Amino acid sequence: MTPDEFRRNGHEMIDLIAHYLESIEDRRIVPEIEPGDVRAMLPEHPPSEPEAWDAVIADVDRVVLPGITHWQHPNWFAYFPANTTYASILGELLSAGLGIQGMSWVTSPACTEIETLMLDWMQELMGLPEQFRSTSEHGGGVIQGSASEAVLVAILAARWRATAGAVNADGDTAKLTAYCTSQAHSSIEKGLRIAGIGTDRTRIVDHDEGFEMRPQALARAISADLDAGLIPFFVCTTHGTTSSMAFDPTDHVAEICAANDVWLHVDGAMCGVAALAPEYRWVNDGIDRSDSYATNPHKWMGVNFDCTLMWTADRSALLGALSILPEYLRSAAAESGAAIDYRDWQIPLGRRFRALKLWFTIRLDGIASVQERIRRDVALTQELAAEIAADARFEIVAPHPLNLVCLRVVGDDSLTEQLIDRINAAGQAHVTRTTLDGRTVMRVSIGARTTERRHVEALWQTISAT
């Protein structure tokens, strides 16, 4: 492709995306296909000659668009909001076009420095603790690819600190124990497993009827492990659990962690960015006493995936766990914070210029537009919850302070299963099933960029036509 062909094709691709997003409501939200159907529409063998742009675009229309689940659809009530704003798409495009590597400061200084600045901007915009700023004595922030990677990094930093670095040489994790509730995201168990903390040493701490961790249960579990000669090293609390958007009491948990020298990670993946609206800053209450915290602008905020923000109050533990240089080569500049080598804050070596999409979103769309959407989504969720609560055929099964409501049909689980199946099979809207306290529950997550009141009203019509 020549530069001029790139210009022409690029303009066409921009127009294709604009048209796709403008007309997305006309599409069935989930494709009606079986495994293998997409592949069967494409040649089994690669082409021997280059193909025309028009042929490829025709296949985007014929195969790709009808073959994907439309996460940007206004009737997207499933999983979590996964918004991608126009501004962030152009930030991602610029990153791809520049084609640089941000593994260390020196391999592309602006990539590192704009990322650091964006973390500091977001700290300020969300009202996060000062000890997370890059300009603080021990803290700092980094963009990870996902909250799963953020929690793994936190686990590794905790493991390093709890063993005074010995784990890097001896790999000995035999006495380390970790703690979360059954409501924590699956990536906690996965990260612990990767780090050599099997399920035998992962304690599932009791939660209360609101699905929040019981601090006294945590204290008892830690105490029992200490008595057994084990080393409690990592606690994860969740602010906005995946199943029901429950908030663990991090303020109480932090006291227990501090008393026992345990690393506390707060997983605010799904809704931490709600703090961009001052009245929702409570979503992060207590994290001023945590060791690390992560939230996903690629969910509710609208910066396209992947963009997880992770802050720590103890960057030296991240460097200790993840720097692969021998001790005598560790950079004084990097440890002091003068120059950051983000390769030592993450699992992989290579990294894209992901800060651009966050920079573009904050500058071009402005934070007021994000606040407006957050307020709209919470209001629509509360309106829907009021309708559900007023209808005796349904019950709401968890607190719903933000943009997620969990409901079920009164009676046998099969009634709720049927309702979910009916909504999803029709293809007009999409919701997710979960299990809470052993019962089948329907989650309604409201937060797609294009969702308006009429979409939520239509969903309620569908639900209540049961």
Report in angstroms how near the CB of residue 393 gets to a second copy at its nearest: 29
Report in angstroms how near the CB of residue 322 gets to a second copy at its nearest: 7
Report in angstroms how near the CB of residue 264 gets to a second copy at its nearest: 21
- In this complex, which beta carbon is closest to a second copy, that of residue 277 or of residue 388? 277
Report in angstroms how near the CB of residue 15 gets to a second copy at its nearest: 6
Report in angstroms how near the CB of residue 355 gets to a second copy at its nearest: 10
Indicate the length of the chain as a whole number.
466
* Long-range contacts of residues 65-68, Cβ cutoff 8 Å, at least 24 apart: 65/20, 65/27, 66/31, 67/31, 67/33, 67/37, 67/38, 67/41, 68/31
- In this complex, which beta carbon is closest to a second copy, that of residue 190 or of residue 393? 190
Query: Can you name the residues that pair with 391 across neighbouring β-strands?
Result: none
Q: What is the DSSP string of 179-223?
A: EEETTS-HHHHHHHHHTT--GGGEEEE-B-TTS-B-HHHHHHHHH
The closest of 86, 448, 446, 81 to 299, measured between CA atoms, is: 81
* Long-range contacts of residues 110-116, Cβ cutoff 8 Å, at least 24 apart: 111/351, 111/353, 111/355, 112/339, 112/340, 112/341, 112/342, 114/353, 114/355, 114/356, 114/359, 115/142, 115/143, 115/342, 115/354, 115/355, 116/140, 116/141, 116/340
Query: 3-state SS of the chain: helix, strand, coil percent to 5?
Result: 50, 15, 35
Report the distance separating Cα 25 and Cα 74, nearest Å: 7
- In this complex, which beta carbon is closest to a second copy, that of residue 300 or of residue 394? 300
Strands (E), 9-139: 76-77
Report in angstroms how near the CB of residue 215 gets to a second copy at its nearest: 26
Report in angstroms how near the CB of residue 55 gets to a second copy at its nearest: 8
- In this complex, which beta carbon is closest to a second copy, that of residue 66 or of residue 399? 66
Report in angstroms how near the CB of residue 451 gets to a second copy at its nearest: 14
Report the distance separating Cα 356 and Cα 337, nearest Å: 21
Contact criterion met (CB below 8 Å) for 72 and 84? yes
- In this complex, which beta carbon is closest to a second copy, that of residue 40 or of residue 259? 40
**Joined tokens for residue 105:** 């400061």
Report in angstroms how near the CB of residue 167 gets to a second copy at its nearest: 6
Question: Cβ–Cβ contacts within 10 Å for residue 461, how many?
Answer: 10
- In this complex, which beta carbon is closest to a second copy, that of residue 134 or of residue 384? 134
Cα-to-chain-centroid distance, residue 396: 25
Report in angstroms how near the CB of residue 148 gets to a second copy at its nearest: 4
**Joined tokens for residue 401:** 């302070």
- In this complex, which beta carbon is closest to a second copy, that of residue 94 or of residue 219? 94
Report in angstroms how near the CB of residue 79 gets to a second copy at its nearest: 8
Sheet with 404-409, edge to edge strand ranges: 76-77, 430-436, 439-445, 404-409, 394-396
- In this complex, which beta carbon is closest to a second copy, that of residue 255 or of residue 413? 413
Intra-chain end-to-end CA distance of the chain, in Å: 54
- In this complex, which beta carbon is closest to a second copy, that of residue 363 or of residue 393? 363
- In this complex, which beta carbon is closest to a second copy, that of residue 121 or of residue 460? 121
List CB contacts of 216: < 8 A, sequence separation 6 or more.
Answer: none
